[in-house]
Structure 1
Amino acid sequence: MSEIQAAGSDDGFVGGDDLSPRVLRGAYGRFPSGVAAVCAVIDGEPAGIAASSFVSVSLEPALVSLCVALTSTTWPLLRRAQSLGVSVLADAHASTARALASQVPDRFAGIEWVRDNSGAVFVAGAALWLNCSIYEQVRAGDHEIAVLAVNRIKMHSSVSPIVFHDSQFHRMARSGPYPSS
């Protein structure tokens, strides 16, 4: 493998005042991710958000995390819940992800959901359900990082997850994994 040298003083990087939220959103969108719905019953009604920042954190203890904008009006309600339902959305859930990311009053209109005994809400047909509780919250810039303890999981292995890339929803290609050599 050889190093490629950038020609001239303009190396193609963007920085300083040009590093705007619009530029950053486009750059961050180059990284494909899954989409999770984070939901609970609050005051007798389902409440939820969509998060493309959902990631696994630790196996011991079992932890996951997501990042939520400080401007979210739903997250302050959700973080009061004893349990949160995290649903890794399926490739058929593009409209569900859009609804949960929107500001409409009834985000759950037309969404099939299941409530467990703890009050966690799960989206029907999702690839994975995780019953979680808040482990730690950390403010980071204009977001809050919520670390969640995983209490229970239910996998739906025949369901393919949705992928979010370049501000659009995609289906995963079914060509199989790369060889392990």
Structure 2
Amino acid sequence: MGNYPTGVTVVTTVNEQSVPLGLTVNSFASVSLDPLLILWSIDKRVSSYEEFIKTDKFAVHVLASDQSDICSLFASKGVDRFGNCEWKLSEHSLPIIAGASGVMQCKTYKTIEAGDHTILIGEVIDIISEKKEPLLYHRRKFGGIPENFYI
């Protein structure tokens, strides 16, 4: 699976006490255009698993090529993730991390059990898009799109 290049996302939500939660995710895909649906999956062993499964909304951040530090931050354990990055609550009361290439705010549409993960399908209710190159992950390394890619 490490030989398959992917984009890198951070998924955020708030728990019942309005505390922001977030984690790095590379299992992200488009599902449908009508309605506009996306999916991502969460490992059942993640400490915030129950809170993400219970939430009725979440935001998926497509990280920009200069955000490998954000990727590492939200993949780390035992750190104050939101205390170490710039973010704000959106009009949908979701934590939005500054500088992302794009953000899709979603309401939870469906969850599907799949082995040691659960797939969360979200209906996109708002999109924030910036003109930034995405962060890519391939063979355990991060990078942007090569300069000669568009030739």
Please confirm whether the aligned pair reaches a TM-score higher than 0.5, indicating the same fold. Answer: yes
* CA displacement at 1:105 relative to structure 2: 4.1
- The residue that corresponds to 1:41 in the other structure is 14
- In structure 1, C-alpha distance between the alignment counterparts of 2:149 and 2:139, rounded to whole Å: 23
- What are the equivalent positions in structure 2 for 1:44-63 lying under 5 Å apart? 44-63=18-37
Instruction: List runs of 5+ in structure 2 lacking aligned partners.
Output: none
- In structure 2, C-alpha distance between the alignment counterparts of 1:167 and 1:134, rounded to whole Å: 30
Q: What is the identity, as a one-letter code, of the residue corresponding to 2:40?
A: L
- In structure 2, C-alpha distance between the alignment counterparts of 1:105 and 1:117, rounded to whole Å: 26
C-alpha contact (below 8 Å) 1:82/1:118 kept by paired residues: no
- In structure 2, C-alpha distance between the alignment counterparts of 1:83 and 1:69, rounded to whole Å: 18
Decide which of 141, 147, 151 is 1:168's aligned counterpart. Answer: 141
Q: What is the identity, as a one-letter code, of the residue corresponding to 1:103?
A: K
**TM-score using structure 2 length:** 0.91
Identity among equivalent positions (%) equals 28
Residues 2-47 of structure 1: per-residue CA shift (max 9 Å, x gap): xxxxxxxxxxxxxxxxxxxxxxxxxx01001011111023223221
C-alpha contact (below 8 Å) 1:49/1:75 kept by paired residues: no
- In structure 1, C-alpha distance between the alignment counterparts of 2:139 and 2:54, rounded to whole Å: 32
Q: What is the identity, as a one-letter code, of the residue corresponding to 1:45?
A: V
Structure 1 segments (4+ residues) deviating >6 Å: none
* CA displacement at 1:61 relative to structure 2: 1.0
Residues 69-127 of structure 1: per-residue CA shift (max 9 Å, x gap): 11111132133333211110111111111111122241223211121122211210101
Higher-RCO chain (CA-CA 8 Å, sequence separation at least 6): 2
In structure 2, the CA distance between the partners of 1:87 and 1:119, relative to structure 1 (3 Å rule), is same
Decide which of 108, 127, 137 is 1:153's aligned counterpart. Answer: 127
- What are the equivalent positions in structure 2 for 1:1-181 lying under 5 Å apart? 28-42=1-15, 43-156=17-130, 158-177=131-150
Structure with the largest fraction of strand: 2
Q: Which moved more, 1:72-81 or 1:140-149?
A: 72-81
* CA displacement at 1:176 relative to structure 2: 4.4
CA RMSD of aligned residues (A): 1.5
- In structure 1, C-alpha distance between the alignment counterparts of 2:53 and 2:71, rounded to whole Å: 20
C-alpha contact (below 8 Å) 1:99/1:108 kept by paired residues: no
| Greater radius of gyration (CA) | 1
Q: What is the identity, as a one-letter code, of the residue corresponding to 1:169?
A: F
User: For this pair of structures, how many residues does the alignment match?
Assistant: 150
3-state secondary structure, aligned to 1:109 = helix
Residues 121-157 of structure 1: per-residue CA shift (max 9 Å, x gap): 121010101110111111111111111111111111x
